[in-house]
Amino acid sequence: MPQAVIAIHGGAGTITRAAMDANREREYTTALEQVLLAGQRVLADGGSALDAVTEAVRLLEECPLFNAGRGAVLTNAGTYELDAAVMNGATLDTGAVACVKRVRNPVLAARAVLDHSEHVLFAAEGAEAFAEAQGLELVAPEYYFTQARHDQWVRARASSGMALLDHDAATLAAQAAQVAGGAADPIDPDSKFGTVGAVACDAAGNLAAATSTGGVTNKQVGRVGDTPIVGAGCYADDVAAVSATGTGEMFIRTVAAYDVSAQMRYAGLSLEESARRVVMEKLPAIGGRGGLIAVDRAGNVTLPFNTEGMYRGVARVGEPVNVWIYG
Ligand code: ASP
Q: Does residue 317 have a pLDDT over 70?
A: yes
Task: Work out the pLDDT band at 186, boundaries 50, 70, 90.
Answer: low
Measured distance CA(253)–CA(303) in Å, rounded: 21
Separation of CA 75 and ligand 1 centre (Å): 13
User: Is 171 in the active site?
Assistant: no
Separation of CA 194 and ligand 1 centre (Å): 7
Catalytic residue among 14, 195, 213, 307: 195
Specify the higher pLDDT residue, 178 or 115: 115
Q: Does residue 84 have a pLDDT over 90?
A: yes
Task: Work out the pLDDT band at 188, boundaries 50, 70, 90.
Answer: low
Separation of CA 163 and ligand 1 centre (Å): 10
Average of pLDDT values for 247-258? 98
Q: Does residue 189 have a pLDDT over 80?
A: no
What pLDDT, on the 0 to 100 scale, is given for residue 183? Answer: 37
CA angle, 80 as apex, 78 and 86 as ends, to 5°? Answer: 160
Residues 38-65 have pLDDT tens digits of 999 999 999 999 999 999 999 999 999 9
Q: Mutate which of 76, 100, 216, 217 to test ligand 1's pocket (most atoms within 8 Å of Cβ)? A: 216
What CATH homologous superfamily does 5-144+186-326 map to?
A: (Glycosyl)asparaginase (3.60.20.30)
What pLDDT, on the 0 to 100 scale, is given for residue 173? Answer: 60
What pLDDT, on the 0 to 100 scale, is given for residue 221? Answer: 97
What pLDDT, on the 0 to 100 scale, is given for residue 185? Answer: 47
Nearest CA, atom 7, ligand 1: 245
Measured distance CA(74)–CA(241) in Å, rounded: 29
Q: Does residue 155 have a pLDDT over 90?
A: no
Q: CA separation (Å) from 149 to 74, 102, 179, 261, 285?
A: 7, 18, 20, 34, 30
Specify the higher pLDDT residue, 134 or 146: 134
Task: Work out the pLDDT band at 182, boundaries 50, 70, 90.
Answer: very low
Q: Residue 136, SS3?
A: coil
Separation of CA 215 and ligand 1 centre (Å): 5
Sequence ranges of the domains in the chain: 5-144+186-326
Task: Work out the pLDDT band at 70, boundaries 50, 70, 90.
Answer: very high
What pLDDT, on the 0 to 100 scale, is given for residue 180? Answer: 43
Residues 96-141 have pLDDT tens digits of 999 999 999 999 999 999 999 999 999 999 999 999 999 999 999 9
Q: Does residue 174 have a pLDDT over 70?
A: no
Residues 206-246 have pLDDT tens digits of 999 999 999 999 999 999 999 999 999 999 999 999 999 99
Q: Residue 135, SS3?
A: coil
Buried b (16+ CB within 10 A) or exposed e, 88-115: bbbeebbbbbbbbbbbbbbbbbbbbbbe
Q: Does residue 160 have a pLDDT over 70?
A: no
Closest atom of ligand 1 relative to the 214 alpha carbon: 9
Closest atom of ligand 1 relative to the 83 alpha carbon: 9
How would you class 233 by CB atoms within 10 Å of its CB: exposed for 0-12, middle for 13-18, buried for 19 or more?
buried
Residues 261-312 have pLDDT tens digits of 999 999 999 999 999 999 999 999 999 999 999 999 999 999 999 999 999 9
- The one-letter amino acid code at 251 reads F
- The one-letter amino acid code at 58 reads R
Average of pLDDT values for 249-272? 98
Best CA proximity match to 82, nearest among 92, 65, 67: 67
